Amino acid sequence: MHPPLANLSQLSDRKRNGPPLSVLTAYDYPAARLLDEAGVDLLLVGDSLGMMVLGLPDTTGVTMEMMIHHTAAVRRAVKRAPVISDLPYHAYETPEQALANARRLVEAGADAVKLEGGVDFVPQVRAIVGAGIPFVGHIGMLPQSVKEEGGYKKKGRTPEQAEKLLQDALALDEAGAAAIVLESMVPDVASDITRRIRATTIGIGAGSGTDAQVLVLHDLIGAFPWFRPPFATARADVAAEISRAAREYITACQAR
């Protein structure tokens, strides 16, 4: 196994020379500690925590307080992997608000912050990067826009959509993004963006041509059996193990 990323300044070297990076979400101390010790390159305290650990229907109900609470738990666990934290819905409407909230995540322990959007958010990105806070973009399917978009839709299917994605990626790259998540888009579009920008691309549901892959931890370990996206391969069945252990315990209690 290649040595894992030690800090964000190694991103461009890994983009040039490989191997591709591994990124997983983490929301709590034990998971973050296990993933860090296993050698995952980067950890993302994603606002997917709203669904995966808080039982919300989507990410739009996630607040700054929730992100700070979970970022601090992950920080306490991690010795090496850089930690990226999401700015939640409505937390970056102006450059001033984006910077103030980015600072709160950094104080809680984030090494970098992420927000969803492209060209329209360049002023926010410039404010964050200008303050010396490493920034990660997120384009393609944007979970925080699920209500406006009427569902989770794959992007880049038409030449116009592909061009818009490229322009968003170029704008974030130019504004100083260290990395950009490319979520749920046509693989050729993601590969093209990866070749044309300096920032590290982190794909999810975007094919195999990106510099890194990110997965929601619960999808990887089979800990959220009620829904798993089609592109995610579960490599464990933690839900079945929890149910089995609980049933065994119930039986043991009753047999006393």
The residues assigned a catalytic role are: 183
* Range in contact with ligand KIV (rule: CB under 6 A) among 2-10, 40-48, 93-101, 171-179: 40-48
Number of neighbours of residue 100 by Cβ within 10 angstroms: 14
Q: Which two tokens stand for residue 65?
A: 């307080």
- Of 5 and 181, CB closest to ligand KIV: 181
Q: Which is nearer to ligand KIV, 86 or 211 (CB)?
A: 86
The amino acid at residue 229 is P
Candidate list 27, 42, 46, 117; residue touching ligand KIV; CB under 6 A: 46
Read out DSSP for 135-162?
Answer: EEEEEES-GGGHHHHTS---B--SHHHH
- Chosen residue from 21, 179, 189, 204 binding ligand KIV by CB under 6 A: 204
Residue of 171, 227, 210 lying closest to 18 (CA atoms): 210
Nearest to 70 by CA among 55, 90, 84, 89: 84
Q: Do residues 173 and 11 lie in contact, with contact meaning Cβ atoms separated by under 8 Å? A: no
Report the nearest approach of ligand KIV to the CB of residue 207 (Å).
15
The nearer residue to ligand KIV, 189 or 214, going by C-beta atoms, is: 214
Interface with ligand KIV, residue 141, by CB under 6 A: no
Angle at CA of residue 238, ends 43 and 251, nearest 5°: 145
For ligand KIV, give the closer residue by CB, 207 or 251. 207
Tell me the closest approach of the beta carbon of residue 50 to ligand KIV, in angstroms.
Answer: 8
Which residue's CB is nearer to ligand KIV, number 64 or number 254? 64
Q: Where are the alpha helices (DSSP H) in the chain?
A: 11-17, 29-38, 49-52, 64-77, 95-108, 122-130, 146-149, 159-174, 187-196, 217-221, 238-254
Indicate whether 216 belongs to the interface with ligand KIV (CB under 6 A): yes
Residue with tokens 């116009």: 160
Residue nearest to ligand KIV (CB): 46
Candidate list 43, 125, 129, 181; residue touching ligand KIV; CB under 6 A? 181
Under the rule (CB under 6 A), what is the footprint of ligand KIV?
A: 25, 44, 46-48, 86, 181, 183, 204, 214, 216
